[in-house]
Structure formats: structure tokens, C-alpha cells
Homo-oligomer: A and B are copies of this chain.
Amino acid sequence: MSSSRITIPARRGKAAYLDRGQQVRVINTHGQQVIDTWAFNRDDLSECMSMEHLRTALGRIAVHGGDALVTNRRRPILQLVEDTSPGVHDTLLAACDRYRYELLGWTDYHDNCTDNLAAALGELGLAAPKPPSPWNLFMNIPVQPDGRLSFEPPVSQPGDYVLLQAEMDCVIAFSACPQDMVPINGVACTPTEAHFEIV
């Protein structure tokens, strides 16, 4: 088994092709970085990993080891094979975008996961479809019994990873979330790089 470590630069995105059966290890190198994650059918980008279809398939809002992550056609596209983190990832919230930062009071352009997805797919020569709701790896958004959400720092540690297996030929895309106005990337509000390895 060979692998090479690919950098998801801080505040940026990166995408890669996966063949069915290949695995990708997504590493929270510095421990406190949220990694927005998308996957698309390589032969038809309109079929994508879909959180709203996933929640129906799982009958819950969280993903556990062994779970299949399904598309908007309700077919498995990834499987969560292993998770060395405490397993806290978000399925509920949209990727950040320039509108989010404008509402938070930012007046200039702010890096954001939505644009990072488009740029990452663009590096592969792919046109970005309407961005699906991402699987926000390591993002800690607890749901209170009354349905309230809070935006908390990750509970992962440096080097924690998730191992994903492609269940169809796909394109996988990541964004090291550039959120630095809300402490979802740690209390220091300092986005960092992360890495992945195709194994």
C-alpha cells in the first residue's frame, strides 16, 4: 500500500479523484481544524454526497464507523472505515461563504469554503455544481435537547484522522475552513493546514 501526503493549505481547498475501493485518510494535522468535505460521482457531478439524504438513510444526525455516506440518489459514495477522533463531525450546517462573513461584519473579501470547493474542483478542470451541504469533519456543533445549536471548538487531537473508502469512482473535495471569527477552528480562531493521504 503506497500513499503520499497531500496538503490542504490553511484557508484553502483541495480535490482529488478516487477509484472505487480506494481509501483516503483525512488528517487533522494540528488537531483543531474543521475540514469541509464533499464527494461527487466522477461520471455525473450532479450526483453528490448529500447530508439531507444521509440523515434519512442513517436514521440519525451523526455518522458512525462503518456507516455508508449516501448521495442524492441514495447510493453509497463513501464509507467511514475508521475514525481515531472522538467522532464529533457536523452534518447540519452549510459551508461558509462570503455572505456568512458579511453577516458577521467582515467588509472585505473573506476566504470561504464555498469558493474553496469551486477552486479545488477548478484545479481538476471541473465546473463546480451548486454546492451541496458538506460533511464538516471535526466540526463540533452540539444539538441541545431543545434543538439549539452552539458553535464549539473541535474535540479532536493533532494527528486524529478519519479513513474513508470510495464506494464508487468519485471526486472528493476538502476545504480547510477559513472561519476565524467564530471558534469552530479552536479558541485561537487560527485556521491551519490539514492533510490527506490516498492509500
A-to-B contact residues, CB < 8 Å: 46, 50-53, 55-56, 59-62, 72-75, 92-94, 97, 99-100, 103, 129-130, 133, 143, 145-150
- On whether the beta carbons of A52 and B99 are closer than 8 Å, the reply is no
- On whether the beta carbons of A149 and B60 are closer than 8 Å, the reply is yes
- On whether the beta carbons of B130 and A103 are closer than 8 Å, the reply is no
Chain B residues with Cβ under 8 A from A52's Cβ? Answer: 51-52, 92-94, 133
Q: Across the two chains, which residue of chain B brings its CB closest to A63?
A: B147
Chain B residues with Cβ under 8 A from A55's Cβ? Answer: 92-94, 149
- On whether the beta carbons of B133 and A130 are closer than 8 Å, the reply is no
Q: Across the two chains, which residue of chain B brings its CB closest to A51?
A: B52
- On whether the beta carbons of A59 and B149 are closer than 8 Å, the reply is yes
Chain B residues with Cβ under 8 A from A129's Cβ? Answer: 130
- On whether the beta carbons of A56 and B147 are closer than 8 Å, the reply is no
Checking B72, B74, B103, B145 against A103 with a beta-carbon cut-off of 8 angstroms, the contacting residue is: B74
Listed A/B pairs (27) with beta-carbon separation below 8 Å = A46-B130, A50-B94, A52-B52, A52-B92, A52-B93, A52-B94, A52-B133, A53-B94, A55-B92, A56-B100, A59-B148, A59-B149, A59-B150, A60-B148, A61-B143, A61-B147, A61-B149, A72-B130, A73-B97, A73-B99, A74-B97, A74-B100, A74-B103, A75-B99, A92-B92, A133-B133, A143-B143
Q: How far is the CA of A94 from the CA of B72 in the complex (A)?
A: 8
Q: How far is the CA of A90 from the CA of B67 in the complex (A)?
A: 23
Chain B residues with Cβ under 8 A from A51's Cβ? Answer: 52
Sort A-B residue pairs by CB-CB distance and give the 4 closest, nearest first: A52-B94, A52-B133, A74-B99, A62-B147
